[in-house]
Structure 1
Amino acid sequence: MPLARAIEATRRYGANLALDGVTLDIPEGGVVGMLGPNGAGKSTLISLLVGLRRPTSGRVELFGGDPRDPACRREIGVTPQETGLPSTLRVHECVAFVAAHYADPVPTGDLLDRFGLADLARRQTGGLSGGEKRRLAVALAFVGRPRLVFLDEPTTGLDVRARRALWDTIRDFGRAHTVVLTSHYLEEIEALADRVVVLGQGRVLADDTVASIRGMVGIHRVSLTAPDLPDLPNVVGLERVDGRTSLFTADADQLVRDLVHAGVPFHGLQVQPTTLEEAFLTLTGR
C-alpha cells in the first residue's frame, strides 16, 4: 500500500479549479519531485495529502487512512511554503520544543549539525536571515524521524550556495525517509528526485523518471509569420494565433534549416524555450 495517495482528487476555491481529478501514489522510499509553474496545484495537492484541506471531490489517503485523522499524521514531517517561527525562541529551543512532541526525536545537536545550524543554536529565530529561517524550517520537518516528509518549495529565499548545501542534506535524509518536495526549478528536481510528477493547470501532465522528464521538456517554440508551411520533420506541435505560427520542436536549429531548404518565405522569426506547461501540454496532446 502506498504511504499516501490521491484518487481523482479535485479541489475548488470558489470558481477557481485548483486541482482537476488528480490520481497519484506515493510509495515508500526515495524522493518524489513535484514540478510545475506557480499556480500549477502543487501546494494544494500537498495540503490535501497532509490533511490541511479536504478535496472537493475524489479522495486522498495517508497511511491508508484519512489525512485529517491526527493518528495518521504522526509519522509525517512538513515544511510549508511559509513558516512562522516564534521570534523570541532560540534556535535550539525551537528544535527542542518540536522534539518534545515525539517519542524518539533526532537529538537536537545532531539535527543542527546536519543542517548547518550548530553555530546559530543560541540565536533567537527573529534575528535569523531568511535563508537561515528556511533551513531551520526544513530541519524541523525531520525532528520526529518521520516515514514521510513533505517539503513545499524548500529552498525559497536561499542563495545558490545555501540552496546546494540544503540539497545535499535533503539528499542524505532521503536515503532513510520518503520525501515529497515541490519546486518550479527543473535543476532542483534533477538534483534530488528519483521520480518526477509534472503538474500544470491542476492536472498531472507527466509522471516518470528524471531522465525521461529531462528529455520531454527539451522543446522549443519557433514562432514566425509565413503564408503557408509544408510538412516538416521533427515538429511535435503547431499553433496559430493572430497570423503567427508557432512550431514546437526538440531541434530548433534543424527546423530553421529545414524551413530555408524548403524555400519557405517567412519573417519575424523567434526561437524560445517553452515553459514546462507548454511542453507537456504539447507532448500529451492536451
Structure 2
Amino acid sequence: MRHVANTALARLHGVSKHYGPLRALNGFDLELRNGELLALLGPNGAGKTTAIGLLLGLIRADAGSVELFGHDPQGIAARRQIGVMLQDAQLPPTLRVGELIRLTTSYYPNPRSVLESAELAGVADLLHRPYGKLSGGQQRRVQFALALCGRPRLLFLDEPTVGMDIDARQKLWAAIRHLIAEGNAVVLTTHYLEEAEALADRVCVMAHGRVISEGSVDALRARIALKRVWCSTRLPLGDVAAWPEVVEARSDGERLCLSTEYVELLVRRLLAEDITLSSLEIRAAGLSEVFTELTRDAQASPTMAEAA
C-alpha cells in the first residue's frame, strides 16, 4: 500500500438531498483525500450519482455542507482543479481527437500537452481520427484524455472502462495508478468490482443515501467470514455440495470452488475423503462477496432513494 497524505480535498458533511418525495442522500458524510483512489460503490438507487453531482457543483444540497478545495464547488477556481469522465458523454462527432483535446486544454491554466494527454490515455494513434468514427472503447479512452488534460488534482471517473477490451482496461488502470503516484486523488464509481479491488486505497459502500461501510479493501474483506476453498478432487460435485460445511459449490474447469465459513473442518474432510486431493488453495472473500453481504440487509429495508 502506498503512503497516502491525510489531506482532504473535498468534503460532504451531513448532506441531505431530496427529489420531491425521493430521498437521495440522508445525512451523508464523505471525505476525499489527497493521493488516494476512493471507490464509491453501491447498488442502483444508493445515491452515488447525487453525491458526485454535489461535489461537481451540478446540484445543490438541501442540508449540510459541501466543499471542494475549501470552496463552493460551483466556483471556477475549484472547478479548474478537477477532471471528470462521466458515464454518458456527448462530444462533437466531426472533430478529430487532437482537436477535442486541444479545445479542452484551453479551459485550464496549466494543462498537459495534447501529446502527453493522448499518450497517458492510450490514444496517441487516434489524434487525426474523427471522434464519431471511433469504437465505443476508443471513445471512452478519448474521454479519459479530456478528463486528465487539465492536470486535475481530483479526478472523477464514472464507469470508466465500460466498452473497453481487456488490454485497453489494463492500460487505463496503469494510467490511473500513474496519476495517483503523482499525488492526485481519484473518485471511481464502477460495477466492475474487480476494478475497485485492484485500484482502490479506500472503499465506500453506499445504500439508501448513506454510508454502510468504509475502509480499505483488506479491512472490508476481513469483515466477511466466508472463505473460498479451491481444489482438484475426484469427489462428485453434488456430494460435496451437500456437506454441512459447504455454503456453495461449483465447478471451475478441473477444480471445485467451495464457499465455507469452516475452512479447517472442510479441508480436513476433503483430505479424509480423497487422498488424491491436489491443487488446494484457500482464499479470503473477494470484494464482490463483501459487497453482496454488506448491501443485502440494506436493500431489504424499504426506503426511497434516487436511481443512481
Tell me the TM-score range normalised by the shorter chain: 0.7 to 0.9
The AA in structure 2 aligned to 1:276 is F
In the alignment, structure 1 residue 58 sits paired with structure 2 residue 64: yes
Instruction: Verify: 1:33 aligned to 2:8, yes or no.
Output: no
* Amino acid of the structure 2 residue aligned with 1:29: G
The equivalent of 1:242 in structure 2 is: none
Structure 2 CA distance for partners of 1:92 and 1:20, relative to 1, 3 Å: same
Identity of aligned residues (%): 44
Distance change in 2, residues 1:212/1:108 (3 Å):
same
What is the alpha-carbon distance in structure 2 between the residues aligned to residue 110 and residue 218 of structure 1? 46
Residues 1:133 and 1:217: Cα distance change in structure 2 (over 3 Å): farther
Q: Secondary structure at the match of 1:141?
A: helix
1:219-270 alpha-carbon deviations (Å, 9 max, x no partner): 59xxxxxxxxxxx99x9xxxxxxxxxxxxxx83567x98xxxxxxxxxxxxx
Letter in 2 for 1:196: V
- Within the candidate set 215, 221, 224, 1:208 is matched to 215
Taking structure 2 as the reference length, the TM-score comes to: 0.72
- 2:111 partner letter: P
State the match for 1:80 in structure 2: 86
CA RMSD of aligned residues (A): 2.8
1:163 is aligned to 169
Q: Flag structure 2 segments of 5+ consecutive residues without an equivalent.
A: 1-6, 228-243, 248-258, 267-287, 302-308
Partner residue of 1:251?
260
Contact 1:10 1:56 in 2 (8 A): yes
Pick from 291, 294, 297 the counterpart of residue 276 of structure 1. 291
Task: Write the letter of the residue equivalent to 1:13.
Answer: Y
Q: Which amino acid aligns with 2:169?
A: R
Compute the displacement of 1:83 (Å): 1.0
Change (3 A) 1:274 1:115: closer
Q: CA deviation at 1:49?
A: 0.6
C-alpha distance in structure 2 between counterparts of 1:89 and 1:217, whole Å:
49
- How many residues were matched structurally? 243
Tell me how far apart the structure 2 counterparts of residues 12 and 158 of structure 1 sit (CA, whole Å): 34
Q: Output the CA distance in 2 between the equivalents of 1:251 and 1:56.
A: 45
Match of 2:197, SS state, is: helix
Q: Which residue of 2 aligns with 1:129?
A: 135
TM-score, normalised by the number of residues in structure 1: 0.77
Q: Distance in 1 between matches of 2:151 and 2:181?
A: 12
> One-letter code of the match for 2:198?
A
CA–CA separation in structure 1 for the residues paired with 2:96 and 2:72? 35
Q: Is the 8 A contact 1:205 1:281 kept in 2?
A: no
Matched, 1:197 2:212: no
Paired residue for 1:172? 178
Q: Deviations over 1:1-42 (max 9, x none)?
A: 621000111122222212221111112112111122222211
Does 2:188 match 1:188? no
TM-aligned CA deviation for residue 162 of structure 1: 2.1
Distance 1:251 1:209 in 2: 23
Equivalent position of 1:247 in the other structure: none
Question: How far, CA to CA, are the matches of 1:99 and 1:133 in structure 2?
Answer: 18
Q: Supply the AA of the counterpart residue of 2:194.
A: E
Task: Report the alpha carbon displacement of residue 281 of structure 1 after superposing the two structures with TM.
Answer: 5.8
The 1:279–1:110 alpha-carbon spacing in structure 2 relative to 1, beyond 3 Å, is same
State how far apart, in whole Å, the 2-side matches of 1:190 and 1:158 are: 18
